[in-house]
Every structure is written in structure tokens, then in C-alpha cells.
Amino acid sequence: MSQAVRRAAFFAGLVLGAVSGFYSAGPLLRFGSLSLSGGQYIGIVVFGTAFGALLGALIGPRIAFAGWQLVSWVEGRLHRASLQDIVSGALGLVVGLIIANLLSPALSRIPVVGSYISTAVMLMLGYLGWAVLIKKKDDLAGIIGIFRLGGRADKSSPGVPMAQAKILDTSVIIDGRVADICKTGFIEGPIVIPGFVLEELRHIADSSDVLKRNRGRRGLEVLNRIQKELDVQVQIYEKDISGLTEVDSKLVKLAKILGGRIITNDFNLNKVAELQGVRVLNINELANSVKPVVLPGEEMTVHVIKGGKESGQGVAYLDDGTMIVIDGGKRHIGETIGVMVTSVLQTAAGRMIFAKPRYPFERAVQ
């Protein structure tokens, strides 16, 4: 709270306290049925005015500070909430208050406690309406179709709930696997491509570095494939996110605004989004989840490609790219052998299988 606001609260409390003290002194004296002379009456009124001014000057800044904190807390909550949450909550609050207002006349007729019950019911129904519609915002969006994107849309249709929007980041577009996942039908609901992501892809595609240029062009080809070849709704969000410069921060902010989810394979973006309450669909986690389950004791046939980090180790790979570290497999480099799984290690980067040669085994014909 600024110094100017503190001064204003001080003087407002001083004036209001003085006025309250002045107008309260007379009725209090008459209530006490005291017989006072004119001078005594004026003295008590002056004292009441001064006491009220002093009390108001002390309490005014504290009340203003508490109000300032309340406003800041509400502003912070509203800033973190998505637009969909705010609209749903406000609509639910209005509906709850309307129902409470309809019940109020009947409740007010109850003797003694009628007005208190009416107030309590109004507060309760207002809160219930706000809480229920926030939790049911996805259903609400699907029914009335009010949460839509601004800007140009491709293959769009009205009434699509933005709570189901899947926002693509730059890394997952360049990766390319998202197009194959969309083709299988496992990703539903509009695919949102932010304009600032397109701009970053264009910048990468125009880079003087050959590797970066190829990655950027691959990303643009993937987007072109998603838009033209796949039967999936694609929408371009052309508005920029003001006040932010980093693409990751803009993606998180956009996901909050739309109430959607980010599709990525960036580990850092995944963690940042989760910390801010944004749901993330990680392509790498999906790939790890659909890999075949391998248990200790199972046997398989693999082709040993190279030596491992430790002495005597050999390395092989499954068709899905999972690394198999074979204890004592270095002497079988270039051979296809049978192995037995000893343990499986799951890490954030993927899965690693440890095995040992299964003796006796028949080497495959090379």
C-alpha cells in the first residue's frame, strides 16, 4: 500500500471518527438522563468528537490495509485463474443468488431468525453455484459453446469446448510424432497452434545453421501435414501474449487463458507448467507407457551392437529403441544371442533393460 493511500486512510478515519463522535455524544447523554449545564454538555460533545477522531485515525489505516490485502489476494487469485474459470464461477454465483432471492421472502417470514436464515441461505447458495459451475465448466462449455478462440481458424466448428484444446509447443512440432498420434485418433478436440510458436518455427527455418534450418523446415512440414492431411480440427491462435517474451511462458499463460493442455516433449516446460497448475501431455511419457512390458526372468533374442561403459558389457536395442545392457556381452558384439532379463530401470529419459547371456544358446545365422 502506497504512502498516499495511507495518508488518505488516516484523514478519512480522522474525519469519520470525529463526525461519529460528535453525533453520538448527544444521544448517549440523553439516554443516560443526565442533567448537565450548557458548558458541561459542550465539553462532553467536544471530548466525544476528539475521542472519535483519535479512534478513527488509529483504526482507519488498519482497516484500509486489511482491505488492500483482501483486494490484492482476490486480484492474485483472479490473475492465476483462467478466463473460463472466472466466467463459469461468475455465472454460477449469479444463478445461486437468483435462487436464494426467490427463497428469501418465504424464509424471512420465520419469526426472530427469519432474516438470519435468509442471509445464510443466500451465502450458501451463492457459494454452491460458484463452486459447482467451476467444476462443471467443461460440460458447460460443451453445451453452450461460449469458449471459443479469437482469430483465424482452420477446419473449425462452433461450439467446441476450449477446455479440450491441445496446444502444441515448438519442440513437439519439430519432433513430428504428434502427427502420427493425431492420425491414430488418440488426440481429440481442437489442436491449437499459437502464432508465436509459428513465428519461432519460421525463425528456426531461416537460420544460417544447417541443422537448425532443417529442424525448422521439418516442423513446418509437420504442421502442413496436420492441417491438410489429417482429419483433425486445427486452430491458429494469432493473438500475442503481452508482457512475456519467452515462448514457454507464453504457452503456460495461453493454456491458463483457454483452460487447455500443452502437448510437449520438453522436460523443463513440463515441470514449469505442472508447478503452475497447467496440465501437460508429454509425448515422451506416452512413448514410454506404450512400450512392451518386460519383466525380470523373461528371455529374448537380441543383436549385440557395441560395448557398454563398464568392462565386459555389451549393448543391444529393441525395435522401439529401448537400450539393453548385457553383462558379459562384449565378446558377442556383432552376434545375435539369447539373453535373460535381470532388471528393468525406468528413468525420465526412458527405460533401460539389464540382461545376461542365456547359456547354452544357439547363435543366429549372420
pTM: 0.47
- Alpha carbon distance 111, 121 (integer Å): 16
Angle, in degrees to the nearest 10, between helices 137-144 and 114-135? 70
**Confidence at residue 365, expressed as pLDDT on a 0 to 100 scale:** 40
- Alpha carbon distance 59, 239 (integer Å): 47
Q: Are 162 and 189 in contact (CB under 8 A)?
A: no
**Confidence at residue 304, expressed as pLDDT on a 0 to 100 scale:** 92
* Per-domain boundaries in the chain: 1-80, 84-135, 153-289, 299-357
Question: Angle CA(336)–CA(341)–CA(345) in degrees, nearest 5?
Answer: 115
pLDDT digits (tens, 9 = 90+) for 206-219: 888 888 889 889 98
User: In this structure, which topology does domain 299-357 adopt according to CATH?
Assistant: OB fold (Dihydrolipoamide Acetyltransferase, E2P) (2.40.50)
Residue with more model confidence, 353 or 363: 353
**Confidence at residue 326, expressed as pLDDT on a 0 to 100 scale:** 92
**Confidence at residue 160, expressed as pLDDT on a 0 to 100 scale:** 42
The values of phi and psi at residue 33, to 5°, are 55, 45
**Confidence at residue 139, expressed as pLDDT on a 0 to 100 scale:** 59
> What's the length of the chain?
366
**Confidence at residue 342, expressed as pLDDT on a 0 to 100 scale:** 92
**Confidence at residue 59, expressed as pLDDT on a 0 to 100 scale:** 78
Show the cell assigned to 202: 519460421
- Given a cut of 80, whether residue 344 has pLDDT beyond it is yes
**Confidence at residue 2, expressed as pLDDT on a 0 to 100 scale:** 65
pLDDT digits (tens, 9 = 90+) for 219-263: 899 888 888 888 788 888 887 777 788 888 888 888 888 888 899
14-28, 43-57, 133-147, 238-252 — most confident range:
238-252
Sign (positive or negative) of CA dihedral 241, 237, 81, 272:
negative
Tell which residue, 143, 205, 144, has the closest CA to residue 173: 205
**Confidence at residue 156, expressed as pLDDT on a 0 to 100 scale:** 41
Residue 55: band (very low, low, confident or very high) from pLDDT cuts 50, 70, 90: confident
pLDDT digits (tens, 9 = 90+) for 131-173: 887 777 655 655 554 444 444 444 444 344 454 788 998 888 9
Mean pLDDT of all residues in 46-64: 76
**Confidence at residue 283, expressed as pLDDT on a 0 to 100 scale:** 85
SS3 label, residue 326: strand
- Alpha carbon distance 249, 33 (integer Å): 70
Residue 38: band (very low, low, confident or very high) from pLDDT cuts 50, 70, 90: low
- 3-state SS of 229-296? CCCCCEEEECCCCCCCCCHHHHHHHHHHHHCCEEEECCHHHHHHHHHCCCCEEEHHHHHHHCCCCCCC
Residue with more model confidence, 200 or 187: 200
User: In this structure, which topology does domain 153-289 adopt according to CATH?
Assistant: Rossmann fold (3.40.50)
- Given a cut of 50, whether residue 174 has pLDDT beyond it is yes
pLDDT digits (tens, 9 = 90+) for 303-341: 999 998 888 899 999 877 788 999 988 889 999 999 999
pLDDT digits (tens, 9 = 90+) for 82-136: 666 777 778 888 888 888 888 888 887 887 777 888 888 888 888 888 888 777 7
Mean pLDDT score of the chain, rounded to an integer?
A: 78
Q: Are 273 and 262 in contact (CB under 8 A)?
A: yes
**Confidence at residue 286, expressed as pLDDT on a 0 to 100 scale:** 82
SS3 label, residue 203: helix
Identity at 123, one-letter amino acid code: L
Mean pLDDT of all residues in 342-362: 77
**Confidence at residue 236, expressed as pLDDT on a 0 to 100 scale:** 85
What stretches of the chain adopt beta strand conformation (E)?
A: 153-154, 166-168, 191-194, 234-237, 261-264, 280-282, 299-307, 314-317, 323-326, 336-347, 350-357
323-326 and 314-317 beta bridge pairing: antiparallel
- Alpha carbon distance 188, 186 (integer Å): 6
